[in-house]
């Protein structure tokens, strides 16, 4: 890694730690809500109500899934910090600017490569829904 100072790395690490704590708190809340909802759903005598309940649970699972993905990204960012590859684009190996890492500390790609990746990814999703 070339462009990041020890101070900048320490600061980014702090952002990652803070984000991780927020995510874990989120997940605890979502899991607690889900448990409450399951109680309500099991009491519902109307089959229409219970299918609505399972839809809600799916949506909450999706939210927890997003949190888990972000936690994995944070974990991966920490591993890259340990290996000394943090802040380097995994596609073209250019250095990711500190300003970008401040906004997106889990970024693995430079901005042009991230744009490219998202475009490719979105095309794949669109293709699947057609």
Number of residues that bind Zn ion (CB under 5 A): 5
Distance separating alpha carbons of residues 105 and 78, to the nearest angstrom: 10
CB of 24 to Zn ion, least distance (A): 31
Residues in region 36-55 near Zn ion by CB under 5 A: none
Distance separating alpha carbons of residues 19 and 26, to the nearest angstrom: 10
Which of these ranges, 4-12, 15-23, 70-78, 89-97, lies near Zn ion under the rule CB under 5 A? 89-97
By CB under 5 A, tell whether 90 contacts Zn ion: no
By CB under 5 A, tell whether 92 contacts Zn ion: yes
Q: Using the CB atoms, write b or e for 1-22: b if 16+ within 10 Å.
A: eeebeeeebebbeebbeebeee
Binding site for Zn ion (CB under 5 A): 89, 91-92, 110, 113
């Amino acid at each position: 890694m070339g462009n990041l100072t020890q101070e900048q790395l320490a600061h980014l690490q702090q952002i990652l730690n803070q984000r991780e704590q927020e995510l874990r708190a989120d997940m605890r809340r979502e899991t607690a809500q889900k448990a409450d909802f399951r109680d309500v759903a099991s009491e519902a005598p109307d089959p229409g109500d219970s299918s609505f309940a399972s839809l809600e649970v799916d949506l909450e699972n999706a939210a927890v899934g997003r949190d888990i993905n972000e936690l994995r990204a944070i974990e991966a960012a920490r591993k890259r910090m340990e290996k000394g590859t943090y802040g380097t684009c995994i596609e073209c190996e250019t250095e990711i600017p500190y300003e970008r890492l401040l906004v997106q500390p889990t970024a693995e790609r430079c901005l042009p490569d991230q744009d490219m990746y998202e475009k490719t990814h979105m095309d794949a999703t669109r293709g699947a829904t057609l």
